[in-house]
Structure 1
Amino acid sequence: MDDLTGFQRDLLYVIAGADKPSGQDIKAEIESYYSSEINHGRLYPNLDTLVNKELVEKGELDRRTNYYAITEDGEQAIRDRRDWEQQYADT
């Protein structure tokens, strides 16, 4: 996960915390966290990066809507990140 941007890590956490969210579901959640609008030109290329790195899988809900789901590699990346953070945050 060390090669992801902070935004990509946030997307990964949102996907991990939801049950096969659509791109719009992810967008709504991340906009709530960032308190600003996230445009499609920022969101979808970053989701594609997570898919290409095999941290997230992309599937089709219907002809117009895709879903995203965390993979085993994505779950492991989150666990590894939490372990790394814990050594610094545990004071």
Structure 2
Amino acid sequence: YDFRDYSEASQARRVLHAMVQMDCRTVSELQSRVLHDEEAFARLLQYLTIPTSEMFRDPSYFLALREQVVPFLKTYPSLKIWIAGCSTGEEVVSMAI
């Protein structure tokens, strides 16, 4: 899991929230628990990942896609698109539109 592009402030809040929910007094305690307990790792992951999803969530992405990628893709007779990490379907519907 790569969280480098996530907001630092958001991740800090999420870690602090996870510490409270998982009854850890320090980040070191949380780290130790996560390293030695698969369930703790799964729980922490639920706190760290951002489960937001909405239609056309990133407008600049869709604009760039429409202007730079779609003209190239139009040269193919058909195509298949894989949407990785799709939460609840809005990404797929946005892409289909």
**TM-score under structure 1 normalisation?**
0.29
Q: Which has the higher strand share?
A: 1
Using CA pairs under 8 Å that are at least 6 residues apart, name the structure with larger relative contact order, 1 or 2: 1
Larger Rg: 2
